[in-house]
Amino acid sequence: MFDGVEKKYVIKDKLMSLIDSSCLIRTVQELVRIPSVNPPGNEKPVAEYLLKLLSDWGFETNRIDEPDPGRPQVLARLSGSGKRPPLILNGHMDVVPEGNQSQWVDDPFSGLLRDGRIYGRGSSDMKGGIAIALEAARVIRQSGFQLKGDLILTFAMGEETGEPGTKSILEAAGLTEGFGIVLEPTDFRVGVAEKGLAWFKVTITGRPVHCSVAELGINPIDKFLAFGQKIREYDKNIRQRIHPRCGPAKCTMTILSAGTKENVVPESLSVILDRRINPDETVQAVEEEIESILKDLSVSDPDFSYEIELTRLYESAEIASDLPQVKMLCQEVEAVKGREAEIWGTPYSTDVRNFINDFGIPAVNFGPGEITQPHSFNESIDVKDLVDGTRVVLRVATELILSE
């Protein structure tokens, strides 16, 4: 008879022996070769591929048609005894557009394997992560071990455009407990916090006139110069707000639009602000700060007229770094990679916020892939990292849902 510790080693050894790197490679290649570009949101063929694959493997599968029936999502479950909370693996099926194809060495959707790396849009962000979830699920199913908790797979639409994909899957599944791993590329860092993102569109109103009598109009470009200077000062100030995991808060002007004709004073000017929000800030407070800048300008200048609109929002999120699940994940990363795991705050926004903020489920961003790869030309992922990522996930599954 084995004691508890010995049994864990037996389970882990068996699971490691069942990993099939050729299956991992093939899965990533097949997923990359299905262009699921968003916008406009072409996730349906990927969802159909995943639903069939998981159904063939004997998983309980559900097609989630909320929030958009034309862009279905995937919920799959391998049921356990219920003695342990579930382990939830998450990935998004959409990828960003490939951009200028002439900048790619190969077809962006080739899934080409070269020198130990798989190339193509989404290979790193995050079809590689989806493939890890699938391979871990296949191995657990094949092992025949009895699960003490459910293994749940959630594959979402619309992450790249801030849509409520993961949120709607978790709601449909009725999940309120467990531990989530969002398999974003973190280069094996354990992301316990993430920055939020708010995009504000500020429109400054002018009075259009012919440029021969420009003094009779109100030029919103002139008004913007004062506002732009205030935003630069604001950005400098908030960069002093440094979160221990996520770093400084930021506010960046990104898109400027004004004018319709060369000889007409513009009737309006719009500017987009990209505000990176730390977990210790609130969206309401951020909006009030920007509104205060605009109000002060309108008080000092009666001709300064504006509107402000929040056009996109990803909330920030954070869990405690000393949670038992986090500590255990770090231990398993160290066991696989031979180095201490870095506790991290992701500078970008992900669906981990839906686990933490909407359902109170502790979750982390964790996966292979350098953070320089997502959204880049010639995006790629290392095959060895895919295997190591699968090993970590299986070791975590052993601790959370496979052993007493």
Task: Quickly list DSSP for 241-263.
Answer: -EETTTEE-EEEEEEEEE-SSTT
Residue 167, pLDDT > 70, answer: yes
> CA-CA distance, 78 to 152, in Å (whole number)?
7
Least Cα distance to 65 among 182, 169, 173 occurs for: 169
Domain CATH code at residue 288: 3.30.70.360
> CA-CA distance, 158 to 150, in Å (whole number)?
25
pLDDT in tens, 52-83: 999 999 999 999 999 999 999 999 999 999 99
How far is CA 52 from its chain centroid? 25
> Could you tell me if 232 and 166 lie in one domain?
no
> Could you tell me if 38 and 148 lie in one domain?
yes
> CA-CA distance, 28 to 125, in Å (whole number)?
11
Q: Which residue has the tokens 């037996």?
A: 10
> Could you tell me if 232 and 349 lie in one domain?
no
Residue 6, pLDDT > 90, answer: no
Residue 338, pLDDT > 90, answer: yes
State both tokens at 229.
């200077």
> Could you tell me if 300 and 330 lie in one domain?
no
Q: Final residue of a domain: which of 314, 341, 369? A: 314
Residue 299, pLDDT > 60, answer: yes
Q: Tell me the residue length of the chain.
A: 404
pLDDT in tens, 108-138: 999 999 999 999 999 999 999 999 999 999 9
Q: What confidence category does residue 4 fall into, taking pLDDT thresholds of 50, 70 and 90?
A: low
Rg (CA), the chain: 24
> Could you tell me if 351 and 380 lie in one domain?
yes
Residues spanned by the domain of 236: 196-314
Segment 288-305 shows an average pLDDT of: 98
Look at phi and psi of residue 41 and say left if phi exceeds 0, alpha if psi is from -120 to 50, else beta. Answer: left
User: Across the chain, what does the average pLDDT equal?
Assistant: 97
CB 348 within 8 A of CB 242: no
CB 163 within 8 A of CB 66: no
Which residues contact residue 40 at a Cβ distance below 8 angstroms, ignoring those fewer than 6 apart? none
> Could you tell me if 357 and 243 lie in one domain?
no
> Could you tell me if 232 and 256 lie in one domain?
yes
Domain CATH code at residue 111: 3.40.630.10
> CA-CA distance, 397 to 400, in Å (whole number)?
5
Q: Return the DSSP state at 158.
A: -
pLDDT recorded at residue 7: 87
CB 132 within 8 A of CB 24: yes
Residue 1, pLDDT > 60, answer: no
> CA-CA distance, 286 to 307, in Å (whole number)?
16
> Could you tell me if 19 and 140 lie in one domain?
yes
> Could you tell me if 126 and 11 lie in one domain?
yes
> Could you tell me if 219 and 153 lie in one domain?
no
Q: Final residue of a domain: which of 314, 349, 384? A: 314
Segment 26-41 shows an average pLDDT of: 98
Q: What confidence category does residue 5 fall into, taking pLDDT thresholds of 50, 70 and 90?
A: confident
Q: Final residue of a domain: which of 296, 314, 332? A: 314
In 10 A of CB 374, how many CB atoms?
20
State both tokens at 133.
């979830």
Residue 2, pLDDT > 80, answer: no
pLDDT in tens, 144-159: 999 999 999 999 999 9
Which residues contact residue 147 at a Cβ distance below 8 angstroms, ignoring those fewer than 6 apart? 78, 79, 80, 81, 140, 401, 402
> Could you tell me if 231 and 359 lie in one domain?
no
> CA-CA distance, 209 to 259, in Å (whole number)?
11
Residue 3, pLDDT > 70, answer: no
The number of domains in the chain is: 2
Segment 44-50 shows an average pLDDT of: 99
β-strands 87-92, 179-182 pairing: parallel
Q: Which residues pair with 281 in a beta bridge?
A: none
The percentage of the chain sitting over the pLDDT mark of 90, rounded to a whole number, equals: 97
pLDDT in tens, 202-236: 999 999 999 999 999 999 999 999 999 999 999 99
Segment 373-389 shows an average pLDDT of: 98
The percentage of the chain sitting over the pLDDT mark of 70, rounded to a whole number, equals: 99
> Could you tell me if 166 and 73 lie in one domain?
yes
Least Cα distance to 155 among 71, 34, 96, 58 occurs for: 71
Segment 293-316 shows an average pLDDT of: 97
Amino acid at 53: L
Helix (H, G, I), strand (E, B) or coil at 177: coil
Q: Using N-to-C axis directions, what is the helix angle for 383-397 and 128-143, rounded to 10°?
A: 50
